[in-house]
Structure 1
Amino acid sequence: MVRLIGIDLPTNKKIAYALTAIHGIGITSAKNIVKLANIDSETRTSDLTTEQIISLRNLVENNELKLEGDLRRFTGLNIKRLNEINCHRGKRHRTSLPVRGQRTRTNARTRRGSKKTVTGKKK
């Protein structure tokens, strides 16, 4: 089992796709990290040697990207700042409605939660 930055990587996936399990690493940056570590892109996570794991760990830890806890803290502080200055986006975050202008009359079930049926609505 490979563990980077406190995250256990999935064992049966290719290494580039397994790296996306780390919050803050997408597929593009994962492919770049694999290329910099001189690892074949077809290699599965379970087939990595210890030298490859060490080189991956060094690249991920010394990268300028914000990852895991730092990234979560950064986005949380941004949302908190929007709430404090009482802007439109902050109000939408507070009321747990879509922030970026999507319609809410029919969709937005992910943000609004499951349907709550109101009785006596029929005329």
Structure 2
Amino acid sequence: MTRISNPHYPPVIRIISGRNMPRIAGVNIPDNKRIEIALTYVYGIGRTLSNKILAQAKIDPNIRAQKLLPEETNRLKEIIEKGLRVEGELRRERMMNIKRLKDIGSYRGGRHAKGLPVRGQRTKTNTRTVRGNTRKTMGSGRRAAEKT
């Protein structure tokens, strides 16, 4: 047992053991990372939201995920599952929004359908992120003369 104290959080006695990775929202959270970073492995949770969740659950963001107590893990699961849209639900909502734009025939929907930038970026050059790195090389347009 180790005693961990932090001036911002109440002192807690933690039993350190070789447990499995915590599983939150269907994602295995890496146990060797700080919980603040480990929560960002869940789709839809970034650093800012991770810190808000930890503050709400009254968990020190600097502890490693493997050192979380079962009660703390349950608190995190409860906060994430009740109050937030993450993982599959968020992906589904995002896809439905794009599908709706395509169905109503909006300009943005057409850009999504064609795989082009949606938010007004230039397309003569620099659209590699959206379109992928598919380069078409151009020749002279004439076949090379065959040797006889």
| TM-score normalised by length of structure 2 | 0.76
List runs of 5+ in structure 1 lacking aligned partners.
none
Q: Identify the range of structure 1 (54-63 vs 97-106) with the bigger mean alpha-carbon deviation.
A: 54-63
The equivalent of 2:11 in structure 1 is none
The equivalent of 1:27 in structure 2 is 47
The equivalent of 2:117 in structure 1 is 98
CA shift, 1:35, in A, is 1.1
Q: What RMSD over aligned residues (CA atoms) do the two structures have, in Å?
A: 1.3
Bigger Rg over Cα: 2
CA shift, 1:94, in A, is 0.7
Q: Is 1:12–2:32 an aligned residue pair?
A: yes
> 1:8 is matched by which residue type in structure 2?
N
| TM-score normalised by length of structure 1 | 0.90
State how far apart, in whole Å, the 1-side matches of 2:78 and 2:37 are. 18
Among 75, 83, 87, the alignment partner of 2:106 is: 87
What pairs with 1:40-51 in structure 2 (closer than 5 Å)?
A: 40-51=60-71
State how far apart, in whole Å, the 1-side matches of 2:88 and 2:71 are. 26
Q: Number of aligned pairs?
A: 120
CA shift, 1:39, in A, is 1.1
The equivalent of 2:59 in structure 1 is 39
State how far apart, in whole Å, the 2-side matches of 1:118 and 1:111 are. 22
Q: Is 1:62–2:103 an aligned residue pair?
A: no
> Sequence identity, in percent?
46
Answer 1 or 2: which has greater strand percent.
Answer: 2
**3-state DSSP class of the match of 2:111?**
helix
